Structure 1
């Protein structure tokens, strides 16, 4: 194995792989990525793969808008079909509070050039004919939202990075990080030590543990989120269906299967990625009420993955103030896949140029101590 590197990236999911690619694309040499299992074996390969721009904070709107622009050209740039499908997101409002928030969201989104619009119940029904509109008050729709294949996207970034000289080591677990005088010195793995001045923590659900190896506390925790998928059926609807008040998201994939999930507010912190029959039952009850035709469709399987949560459900991007050379791209809180294209580009800019094309200083780890949390109102 290599003995020294200019940059060591920990984590082979979409965040780590895309950072590796962007660093190499910008001219960085001698980059190493360590993944303790295989690429996309963590949260990336287990995610719902949705990509949206409909948020309630300016930061998230700008980042997601720029990420969509990258997604739209990514298959060509990386020479790998990521199966991007821009069928839109239909956000469903069932409470007056939600209606008022959606109006604010759309005003913000439109001011930033995002093609979202506030629509009536009748218009929502036109977009998704099998939708049960009982109890629905209004909706928003953004046609350029959608989804992509998370495995293809992860592999596309990784293979493009390797073509640019990045060395990727699967089945290589990081065991320790050595520092001296508050600077990164090396990374210890189960296959040997690598000297390096820069470590990028992109370890997703295990990023807190990686922080402890470097001697710092990162205010993140992991939490299980479950998903199920049905048998493939003829096309029923194009957009992702999402509700915050009723707590669900649901989309039909290009090959016909329907993926759905929700966030359990009582889910304990931890690394459990098991599944439960209680989730399957509640998920079925939620979605058959929204799209009654789903009652006739069989569930095939279910799985779970880890959200890496921060105190304000926003990512932590940047260098740790206590350790020179220790960078973090963590705490994406369920939005890592959709924000990866832009977040990875900005991280590469920060590391190589010391500045970013979009300001991300508000996403630094110091915001929690300063009490400057960025509260996003529109999350499942």
Structure 2
């Protein structure tokens, strides 16, 4: 079966759903979203779903700052019947050595120039914010009360339902098998449900976006890296802020239902698509989190899982057109922060695909930066 579309979005996570929604909102009549699994079945549904403005590069600070403004009113904007469980109780970033203290103060200088209400906190002030935190080895940290946490499934569902009301067709359990070209230009998408003829395609498929590039002869510098997460049994509320330690490579948040969601990444992970979780992860996670938050030592683990970061060499996303293939666009390589900047990314990509001027310049996110060496290395990634 062959059908036609004005644009095809590949990937049913929050970035793909936000992009499809914004394309339809801007007037495209026939937008099709293709997802190999179920919506939020990839990185979105497996992520920690934290949302923070505290970054070390201006692009990430701006995108996350403005995305948080959208998250604050997302239910109303999308006429969503449910709650996306957006909880703004802050992020507490912890410093365990002088190098990190120096980096945090540098980050604060940048953040304050961008009107981000972050501040330095002493070890004692860290304990005021999270009473059960250990002060052992702690040099202090930074805190921003506007940061928070969200339910990734509900936020994605909100975008998907709003997109469908605007006429977007969503094909789940549908695999993209090829991208079609006519004299180098995009002409269609071949899927397990048939061919979709279209002049515009955007890859929002996380680490799998690399495979889409290869379908049209382009090597995108995006690779997968497994990160693992667990959730504990629910208990009475005892922690407001998300805590994060770059030194230990972990984060931990108590979500609205009472469970603690925590995760870590291993930079020595083999770069493949393995999403299984391991006993080694649970052992390492337990050791690290009980060093920082000893009061959690007796909590039972309900389940654990793995998911994929879509990493780039500078840990910064690739956004925009792929010059070698007119009609092919990419929004991927988010390196662990795609969820939190998805609302703005969806708007930007719709603008760019329709030939409109985006509200921020996005040239710095282009794929050609890896050839020129003009990289934007993000220092604040777990």
Sort the TM-score into its range (normalised by shorter chain): over 0.9
Cross-structure match for 2:319? 317
Structure 1 CA distance for aligned equivalents of residues 79 and 122 of structure 2: 40
Q: Which residue of 1 aligns with 2:79?
A: 79
Q: Secondary structure at the match of 2:73?
A: helix
CA distance in 2, matches of 1:265, 1:19: 30
- The corresponding residue for 1:252 is 254
TM-score, normalised to structure 1, is 0.99
Matched residue SS, 2:334: coil
Partner of 2:371 in structure 1?
A: 369
Q: 1:194 aligns with which of 175, 192, 196?
A: 196
Residues 294-331 of structure 1, C-alpha deviation per residue, up to 9 Å, x if partnerless?
11111111001111111111110000010000000010
Partner in structure 2 of residue 299 of structure 1: 301
| Alignment correspondent of 2:140 | 138
User: Could you say which residue in structure 1 is the equivalent of 2:240?
Assistant: 238
TM-score by length of 2: 0.98
SS at match of 2:352: helix
Matched position secondary structure for 2:345: helix
The residue that corresponds to 1:153 in the other structure is 155
Aligned length: 380
SS at match of 1:3: strand
Match of 1:18 in 2: 18
Structure 2 residues not aligned, in runs of 5+: none
Q: In the alignment, is the contact (CA less than 8 A) between 2:336 and 2:381 conserved in 1?
A: no
Unaligned stretches of 5+ in structure 1? none
Q: What RMSD in Å do the two structures reach over aligned CA positions?
A: 0.9
CA offsets per residue over residues 15-51 of structure 1, 9 Å max, x none? 1111000111111110001111110111111100000
**Secondary structure of 2:187's partner?**
strand
Match of 1:210 among 212, 219, 222: 212
Question: 1:268-290 CA distances to partner (integer Å, 9 max, x unpaired)?
Answer: 10100111101000000000111
The CA distance in 2 between the partners of 1:45 and 1:58, in whole Å, is 27
DSSP-derived class of the 1:97 partner? helix
Corresponding residue SS for 2:297: helix
CA distance in 2, matches of 1:358, 1:266: 35
| Equivalent residue runs for 1:110-129 within 5 Å | 110-129=112-131
Q: Would the aligned equivalents of 2:310 and 2:336 in 1 still touch at CA under 8 Å?
A: yes
